[in-house]
Amino acid sequence: MSTFPIYRPRRLRANENLRRLVRETALSVDDLIYPMFVVHGNDVATEISAMPGCYQYSVDRLVTAAKELATLGIPGTILFGIPASKDPLGTEAYAEDGIIQQAVRAIKDTVPDLLVITDVCLCEYTDHGHCGVIGGSNEIQNDPTLELLVKESLSHARAGADVIAPSDMMDGRVGAIRDALDENGYQNIPILAYAAKYASAFYGPFREAAESAPQFGDRRSYQMDPANAEEALREVALDIQEGADILMVKPALAYLDVIHRVKTEFQMPVAAYNVSGEYAMIKAAAQNGWVDEERVALEALTSIKRAGADMILTYFAKSVASSQ
Ligand code: PBG
């Protein structure tokens, strides 16, 4: 046996105060963004079956929910809209009185300090459910889609959105949106780019919530292949060049390595989306009594921060905030 002192890691695990002092990662309410779904109508709050505790709200109920977020100290929400009707070009996405435009105005009128981030995409608004314009042989057309995304972003900005978050994964959309915002006096609206967004099966419950499942094919011609990480770095680099202020990796838990690489490579603010399927898995297991929901959720969210995320979009935001 050596008589030299040896490093004994357990010394610093002996009690909670020691553990607090050496803890490297702190998850806080400051890091959280709560996603919400908004529908037409009055006094509507329909629970999403695969996402217990999450609702499709009409604008009036959304405002009540927004007040609750502010009371809990949650910095912001990201909004997804379900339109009254859908068409091939997703016209309600950029209608002045569209559901998101109404929702943003209503929240900004009553809870002005809550940060309102709007998801910019067409899939909730197109009858085919794809994120872009469909061409002759059913391919998703890139550049014609950009024009519509620009219109959508500008209409969100006019409604009062604080941050614009394009999630469509068309090439060049961050630059096109940045230019249009700048030309129209919205130089100060940041872009939160879904920079590395994967073609993931973890979005399943969201597509029920947002009624946005593709009616044919899948999203693999525009969202990323889950097997690729270097490509994620190229996507992020492009979005930075095009003017993105915050880079998002999505989903989060199956892509912690990507979050880490994006953070270390670019030293920019990084967001991670703890998506619907990640939420649903924990909820389902907890409902069966198989895991402790609160502990598993905190562990998962802490791992996302530890990987390098500065902020997390998560359906657990309210429960984390109320438990703190
Ligand atoms: C819109 C969009 C999606 C999500 C966020 N924005 C769905 C998709 O790309 O199919 C998924 C969010 C979640 O699963 O929680 N394009």
How does pLDDT run across 104-151, given as a tens digit for each residue? 999 999 999 999 999 999 999 999 999 999 998 889 999 999 999 999
Mean pLDDT of 200-206: 96
* Per-residue pLDDT, 211: 87
From the CB of 118, is ligand 1 less than 6 Å away?
A: no
What is the predicted pLDDT for the residue at 324? 79
Angle at 86 between CA 83 and CA 92, to 5 degrees: 55
121 lines ligand 1 (CB under 6 A): yes
244-254 per-position pLDDT tens digit: 999 999 999 99
pLDDT at 227: 98
The reply to whether the predicted model has a pTM over 0.75 is yes
pLDDT grade for 1, boundaries at 50, 70 and 90: low
Active-site residue numbers?
197, 250
> Residue 281 contacts by C-beta under 8 Å, 6 or more apart in sequence?
none
Q: How far apart are CA 87 and CA 73, in angstroms?
A: 38
Residue closest via CA to ligand 1's atom 14 equals 203
167 within ligand 1 shell (Cβ under 6 A):
yes
Q: Quickly state the pLDDT bin for 2 (edges 50, 70, 90).
A: low
How far from 209 is each of 7, 192, 200, CA to CA, in Å? 51, 22, 16
Q: Mutate which of 203, 211, 253, 279 to test ligand 1's pocket (most atoms within 8 Å of Cβ)?
A: 203
Average pLDDT, the chain: 96
